[in-house]
Amino acid sequence: MLGFSQVGAESEWRTANTQSIKDAAAKEGITLKFSDAQQKQENQIKAIRSFIAQRVDVIAFSPVVETGWEPVLREAKRAGIPVVLTDRSVSVKDESLWVSFLGSDFVEEGRRAAKWLVDYAPVKELAAKGEVNIVELQGTVGSAPAIDRKKGFEEILKNQPKFKIIRSQTGDFTRAKGKEVMEAFLKAEGKKINVLYAHNDDMAIGAIQAIEEAGLKPGKDIVIVSIDAVKGAFEAMIAGKLNCSVECSPLLGPQLMSIVKDVVAGKPVPRRIVTEEGVFPQETAAKEFPNRKY
């Protein structure tokens, strides 16, 4: 029996991730106890405690934020239940509290977004003439992807003096918040904004609406790069409204089930499995769209 505590249903990515986990468990004949935390750490802690009480064989979870997990993970360890981290990691001193972490390299995703941006011809032209003003929509405060995607992006830009992040705020990985925060950015900075970097596609899609409502052309007046490469992002790219999406694969179900089976069988499991991912600039979108699985 596998207990899985999911972050929530905040994005297209998350919906695909949930589906992948449910499908893979069914395919492998693994009984899945699934719990949706609605983006709240306290709900995830409750779910993990209930998995311990039910004596599941393995607990897996995608931690909404990085910190604050020691007490509940110690309870799982005391009960002899191995914990597998999927998608997002935790920051704990005692690394024996979890056995394996399966998911993306979020720092690398941030780097890829920035590398694409500095090489994008219209942005290069802007940089040749003056400054490139960037606004950033961050993911959920304290979450691994928000921390790491910011870090990777800034790491590349620190060698690019013309590129300035003029505003940065959380949009909590949702369309509604992405739109709301972009409206505030536009109100404060208006036409000064050259680029939007969104930590996920959903926030970029929300922001696109705000940009259009402000009478500007997303993808042209404001260059947009975001992360995930979900179908919604491909549609926006084909419509010319989004310039690039960096891939973050939610299809973690099959690999997770294989780790769960190995853990139960007492076999050694890799400590870290990094998901393989690509980068999809707008010009590749139409060709790639039919191949997309999420």
Helix (H) or strand (E) holding 145: helix 144-157
- Stretch near ligand AHR under the rule CB under 6 A, chosen from 7-15, 27-35, 161-169, 215-223: 7-15
Region 275-294 residues binding ligand AHR, contact defined as CB under 6 A: none
d(CA 155, CA 206): 26
Burial of 189 (0-12, 13-18, 19+ CB in 10 A): middle
Binds ligand AHR by CB under 6 A, chosen from 200, 245, 255, 282: 200
81 or 148: whose CB is closer to ligand AHR?
Answer: 148
Binds ligand AHR by CB under 6 A, chosen from 101, 120, 173, 234: 173
- Stretch near ligand AHR under the rule CB under 6 A, chosen from 6-14, 49-57, 121-129, 180-188: 6-14
DSSP 162: T
Q: How far is the CB of 174 from ligand AHR (least distance, A)?
A: 8
Q: Is position 13 an interface residue for ligand AHR (rule: CB under 6 A)?
A: yes
Region 243-262 residues binding ligand AHR, contact defined as CB under 6 A: 248
Q: How far is the CB of 76 from ligand AHR (least distance, A)?
A: 21
d(CA 198, CA 205): 9
Angle ∠(200,6,27) on CA atoms, nearest 5: 105
Binds ligand AHR by CB under 6 A, chosen from 3, 82, 145, 178: 145
Region 220-239 residues binding ligand AHR, contact defined as CB under 6 A: 227-228
User: Does residue 17 sit in helix, strand or coil?
Assistant: helix
- Stretch near ligand AHR under the rule CB under 6 A, chosen from 9-17, 176-184, 207-215, 259-267: 9-17
Determine contact, residues 268/258, Cβ cutoff 8 Å: no
Region 72-101 residues binding ligand AHR, contact defined as CB under 6 A: 87-88
Determine contact, residues 230/254, Cβ cutoff 8 Å: no
199: Cβ contacts below 8 Å, ≥ 6 apart: 136, 137, 138, 139, 145, 146, 149, 150, 171, 173, 226, 227
Judged by CB under 6 A, the number of residues near ligand AHR is: 13
Q: How far is the CB of 54 from ligand AHR (least distance, A)?
A: 26
**Which residue type occupies 2?**
L
81 or 224: whose CB is closer to ligand AHR?
Answer: 224
Helix (H) or strand (E) holding 167: strand 163-170
Looking up tokens 């992006």, which residue turns up?
153
Binding stretches for ligand AHR (CB under 6 A) = 10-11, 13-14, 87-88, 145, 173, 200, 202, 227-228, 248
